[in-house]
Amino acid sequence: MVTEALPFWNTKTLEEMTPEEWESLCDGCGRCCLQKLEDIDTGLYFYTNVACRLLNDETCRCKNYPERIALVKDCLVLSPTDRQHYDWLPVSCAYRRLAHGLDLEWWHPLVSGNPDTVHEAKISVRNRTIGEDRVPEEQLEEHIVSWIDF
């Protein structure tokens, strides 16, 4: 009998993953690079379609990933021990899903073997964002959108 080995995200905790495994969990959706608004009464986060100035709307990747922390003061670097920050991640995000005991969805590139499935499934923000330089802060509320959730 042949038993297939389970993938690393099913056998390791987030803390046990190698840096390469950890990075590969990012599906490239770009959602965490959108401006979010927090309701101070409920603590709920609302996503907008307004993107960080360094987000490439076509690839949904950061235009300067190595220097992002120096260039964008509120860009947050996720780590396995930063779980208090996972709640503002979209529910589709692999880091949040695994932290909550959920598996990766079919469109995740690690599952599909194809980096385009995150775009085909409309999980990514491809071609649907507006640069933050074009939206005054007081107008952010008008840009709240409901992205497809899983």
Q: How far is the CB of 112 from ligand SF4 (least distance, A)?
A: 14
Number of residues that bind ligand SF4 (CB under 6 A): 20
Site for ligand SF4 in 99-138 (CB under 6 A): none
Nearer to ligand SF4, 2 or 105 (CB): 105
Sign of torsion, CA 85 59 111 68?
Answer: negative
Site for ligand SF4 in 49-68 (CB under 6 A): 52, 54-55, 62, 68
Do 36 and 27 meet the contact criterion of CB atoms below 8 Å apart? no
Q: How far is the CB of 56 from ligand SF4 (least distance, A)?
A: 8
Sign of torsion, CA 140 30 76 68?
Answer: negative
Do 81 and 15 meet the contact criterion of CB atoms below 8 Å apart? yes
Alpha-carbon span 135 to 76, nearest angstrom = 21
Q: How far is the CB of 11 from ligand SF4 (least distance, A)?
A: 20
Q: How far is the CB of 57 from ligand SF4 (least distance, A)?
A: 10
Nearer to ligand SF4, 72 or 99 (CB): 72
Site for ligand SF4 in 1-20 (CB under 6 A): none
What φ, ψ does residue 25 adopt, rounded to 5°? -70, -25
Tokens of 92: 């589709």
Site for ligand SF4 in 19-48 (CB under 6 A): 26-33
DSSP assignments along 28-47, one per residue: ---GGGEEEEE-TTT--EEE
Q: How far is the CB of 93 from ligand SF4 (least distance, A)?
A: 3
Amino acid identity, position 125: V
Q: Which residues bind ligand SF4 (CB under 6 A)?
A: 26-33, 52, 54-55, 62, 68, 72, 75, 89-90, 93-95
